[in-house]
């Protein structure tokens, strides 16, 4: 009968994204956010509901549209979103994903970044594109605005009521914040920025400037304000550039067009020109990079968390499918080679989860020397490895669904198109690897602290100790040049993940991860080297 659907796996919806994720629950507990368990469980049910997944689908199926002018021909530079996008935003903001770690109330702020990361990991599974304005708003909080600017913006950033109306900030219940750094001639090398900023009067911290120039990538352009880098007389500087001016008129940000992107389609990414736009200086002239770098550090954490979340959803969907689909008279999951593939994928998800939540904890204790060292070195390491492995991992998970994996109605196709962006923006792979070298050269004590911490985790495991020794050798190689930066970064990520899994994780997972990622012959594809691993135990953890 044509209406029957024999041997098709049921939709992977109405799953609690927290209660079904053992690795996530363990990470939340281990890294100090047990206090948030109940809220996370509720949020996991919400994000994993059929309705939420449908919102995510619609938000991508009907991407944003730019309206440059109104009916009378006046510039409005307005981007229209599908209601489903607004629903995702409202849901994430109500959960405080744009501000919750700064509230300092629950558990006296302890574990707040871990709890937020857990919720972020789940909302990314529901819909990843809207995470862009959420993460930028959260990351803008530590920016040191002058008191008169902070008085207007901070209470509204901290509000959990989503207000998508296009009005001056002073009239709104809440605001979101974006960032503008990348220009046509360079994104990584922001020193090459050509956008100019001239003071209206004397200039200086908090002063008003007129900006002329452009940004080549300008995501979430309906944000209420942006942190923008531009050249002032004193050098590259950071400005708060609102969409509306205090007198209620629209600031001169001309949205030229929206990027036609591979994925991340629910999120608008514009090209913008500043035609004498007004901006207010943050900090001193010439100190633009230090002013914005803290924001970038937080967004790097979120890139890794989001990628780990998407990896988890891809894995869970693949395991769910393999448990339902029959091939040659048996469930797919009972075929030895498929078991190996799925277990191998699970190992990378376990490692990614371990790394991102360990990193989130280091953001919870900025005053602690060891935490600060972990945050400084392991932010680029974690972003590099998790975001790099995600596209490969999701591609293999997609294949586990066969042809269905490649079809848009199944979630995997969208995830597959989404994941590469996390590796590109907020510092691409090479930039992360070079940042690791920069730490070694400029802050060698930071690397020493992290290595000391790792030493405890590798003790008594011969293979892990050997990997650690290789790492020490690389770190002390006087000829350590840019060309080996990726090798070093990857080895740091694998060793750190293995150490965390070994100390705190389940032995079957840790042993298999160490055996396949740090010992044995290097493999370029999944599903190899696990003949002796307890794949049943590894897979049982994926969806108990």
Ligand X SMILES: Cc1cc2nc3c(=O)[nH]c(=O)nc-3n(C[C@H](O)[C@H](O)[C@H](O)COP(=O)(O)OP(=O)(O)OC[C@H]3O[C@@H](n4cnc5c(N)ncnc54)[C@H](O)[C@@H]3O)c2cc1C
What's the closest the beta carbon of residue 132 comes to ligand X, in angstroms?
7
- Residue 226 or 513: which CB sits closer to ligand X? 226
In order, the DSSP letters of 296-364 are HHHHHHHHHHHHHHHHHHHHHHHHHHHHH-EETTEEGGGSHHHHHHHHHHHHHHHHHHHHHHHHHHHHH
Alpha-carbon distance 533 to 539, whole Å?
11
Alpha-carbon distance 304 to 384, whole Å?
8
What's the closest the beta carbon of residue 418 comes to ligand X, in angstroms?
10
Per-residue 3-state assignment (H helix, E strand, C coil) for 260-271: CCCCCCCCCEEE
- Residue 92 or 353: which CB sits closer to ligand X? 92
Distance from CA of residue 369 to its chain's centroid?
A: 25
Residues that bind ligand X (CB under 6 A): 178-182, 186-188, 217-219, 261, 264, 269, 421, 424-426, 428-431, 434
- Taking Cα atoms as reference points, which of 2, 130, 116 lies closest to residue 55? 130
Secondary structure (3-state) at 117:
helix
Alpha-carbon distance 31 to 484, whole Å?
32
- Residue 229 or 500: which CB sits closer to ligand X? 229
What's the closest the beta carbon of residue 263 comes to ligand X, in angstroms?
8
Q: By beta-carbon distance, which residue lies closest to ligand X?
A: 187
- Residue 112 or 181: which CB sits closer to ligand X? 181
Alpha-carbon distance 350 to 358, whole Å?
12
- Taking Cα atoms as reference points, which of 147, 128, 192 lies closest to residue 419? 128
What's the closest the beta carbon of residue 226 comes to ligand X, in angstroms?
8
Contact indicator for 193, 176 with CB cutoff of 8 Å: no
What's the closest the beta carbon of residue 135 comes to ligand X, in angstroms?
11
What's the closest the beta carbon of residue 540 comes to ligand X, in angstroms?
37
- Residue 181 or 450: which CB sits closer to ligand X? 181
What's the closest the beta carbon of residue 430 comes to ligand X, in angstroms?
3
- Residue 348 or 426: which CB sits closer to ligand X? 426
- Residue 179 or 341: which CB sits closer to ligand X? 179
Helices 411-418 & 50-61 angle (0-180, nearest 10) = 60
């Amino acid at each position: 009968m044509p209406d029957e659907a024999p041997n098709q796996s049921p939709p992977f919806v109405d799953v609690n994204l927290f209660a079904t994720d053992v690795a996530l629950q363990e990470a939340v507990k281990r890294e100090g956010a047990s206090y948030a368990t109940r809220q996370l469980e509720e949020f996991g049910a919400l994000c994993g509901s059929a309705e939420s997944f449908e919102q995510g689908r619609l938000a991508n199926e009907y991407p944003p549209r730019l309206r440059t002018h109104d009916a009378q021909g006046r510039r409005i530079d307005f981007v229209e979103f599908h209601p489903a996008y607004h629903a995702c935003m409202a849901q994430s903001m109500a959960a405080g994903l744009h501000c919750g770690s700064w509230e300092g109330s629950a558990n006296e702020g302890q574990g707040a970044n871990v709890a937020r990361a857990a919720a972020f990991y789940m909302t990314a599974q529901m819909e990843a594109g809207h995470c862009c304005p959420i993460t930028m708003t959260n990351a803008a909080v530590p920016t040191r605005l002058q008191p008169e600017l902070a008085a207007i913006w901070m209470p509204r950033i901290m509000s959990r009521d989503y207000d998508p109306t296009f009005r001056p900030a002073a009239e709104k219940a809440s605001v979101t914040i974006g960032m503008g750094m990348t220009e046509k001639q360079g994104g990584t090398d922001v020193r090459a920025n050509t956008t100019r900023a001239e003071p209206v009067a004397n200039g200086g911290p908090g002063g008003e400037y007129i900006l002329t120039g452009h940004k080549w990538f300008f995501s979430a352009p309906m944000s209420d304000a942006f942190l923008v880098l531009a050249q002032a007389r004193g050098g590259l500087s950071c400005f708060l550039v609102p969409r509306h001016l205090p007198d209620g008129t629209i600031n001169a940000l001309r949205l030229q067009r929206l990027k036609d992107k591979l994925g991340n389609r629910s999120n608008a990414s514009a090209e913008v020109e500043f035609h004498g736009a007004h901006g207010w200086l943050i900090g001193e002239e010439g100190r633009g990079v230090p002013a914005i770098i803290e924001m970038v550090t937080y967004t790097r954490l979120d890139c890794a968390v989001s990628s780990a979340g998407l990896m988890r959803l891809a894995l869970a969907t693949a395991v769910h499918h393999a448990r339902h689909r029959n091939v040659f008279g048996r469930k797919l999951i009972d075929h030895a080679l498929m078991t190996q593939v799925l277990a191998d994928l699970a190992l990378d998800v376990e490692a990614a989860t371990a790394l991102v939540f360990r990193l989130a904890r280091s953001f919870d204790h900025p005053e602690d020397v060891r935490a600060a060292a972990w945050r400084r070195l392991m932010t680029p390491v974690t972003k590099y490895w998790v975001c790099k492995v995600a596209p490969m991992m999701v591609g293999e998970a997609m294949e586990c669904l066969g042809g269905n994996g490649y079809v848009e109605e199944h979630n995997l196709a969208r995830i597959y198109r989404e994941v590469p962006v996390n590796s590109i923006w907020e510092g691409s792979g090479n930039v992360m690897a070079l940042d690791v070298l920069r730490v070694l050269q400029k802050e060698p004590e930071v690397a020493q602290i992290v290595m000391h911490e790792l030493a405890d985790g590798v003790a008594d495991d011969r293979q892990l100790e050997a990997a650690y020794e290789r790492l020490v050798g690389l770190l002390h190689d006087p000829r350590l040049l840019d060309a080996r930066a990726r090798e070093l970064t990857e080895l740091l990520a694998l060793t750190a993940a293995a150490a965390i899994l070994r100390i705190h994780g389940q032995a079957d997972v840790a042993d298999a991860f160490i055996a396949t990622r740090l010992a044995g012959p290097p493999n370029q594809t999944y599903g190899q080297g696990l003949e002796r691993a307890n794949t049943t135990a590894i897979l049982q953890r994926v969806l108990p």
